[in-house]
Amino acid sequence: MTITANTTTKTTTAEESITTSVVENSAPQAAPQAAPQAAPQEIIINHITAEDAPQDMLVALFDRPCELEALAARHSDFFNLIYSSLSKSCRESFKALLFTPRSSLCDRDWMQAIDQRLSVLPPCILEKFKGIVGWIGPEGDEDERDLWGEDEYGYRDSSFEQVQIKWLRDVPDFSLEKFEQCYPQFFVNARDRLQGRRMSFGGDQRDQYAIFRETLQLSRDDLPCDNAWARRINGCLEKHPELLLQLKEIIAYETGYDD
């Protein structure tokens, strides 16, 4: 009986062991955990719209000095060719000109200055430079008035060709201070174009931007003749048709003109 009992006990233990093993082996295996994925990086794209771009922008460079530096590095062979073709003194002044900010020199004057510096080199150098920076202004000896289509006030093809400068004097409660507050970008553009340029006024050579501002604020008590006043304004802006167009657009808006 003892032997039988022991045998039974061992058998039972073996069966339990086998059963336990089968159960453990048949238990569902836990799925391996996937490696944690890195959080997606946030991509920020700075969109530049037409509203963001300066109104006097004539090259495809929003931040002109910074973006031109990147272009110079990308086209290093071409820029090194220019540098090596200029004398040492011209080379340094040319580099300073290249990276002059738009706030100090507008795109048109900037390209005119570059044109003068590169005039000693083959014309293809300047043409390639214009292609690199995305120049969209007038080319070579093309008259800027032909580019814009000038009428007697500055534009032949403008929707505002019938607007007369002297209408500005009819705007109620007109003041230069209020005008500058309402249209700051126009005065930024005018200052860029006119400041530092000299024109004859009253027998003296004076700053063109200063004369323009002084003329704007002259009332009919100061200068009764509207045509004389308009001629003085046109004298300041005659070489800057884009400014004349902007001014006529403002006058059209202020006077309720509808073509």
Residue 59 amino acid letter:
V
Ranges of each domain in the chain: 64-133, 144-255
Q: For residue 259, give both structure tokens.
A: 């073509």
Evaluate if pTM is beyond 0.75.
no
Please give the full DSSP string across 185-230, using - where no structure is assigned. Answer: HHHHHHHHHHTT-EEEETTEEEEHHHHHHHHHT--TTT---HHHHH
Average pLDDT over residues 130-156: 56
| pLDDT tens readout for residues 212-237 | 999 998 988 888 898 889 988 988 88
pLDDT greater than 80 at residue 46: no
Pairwise CA distance, residues 55 & 34, whole Å: 54
For the chain, the average pLDDT equals 74
Average pLDDT over residues 163-178: 88
163 within 8 A of 248, measured Cβ to Cβ: yes
Q: In angstroms, how far is CA 57 from the centroid of its own chain? A: 6
What is the pLDDT, as a whole number, of residue 148? 39
Q: For residue 43, give both structure tokens.
A: 């991509």
Higher per-residue confidence, 50 vs 56: 56
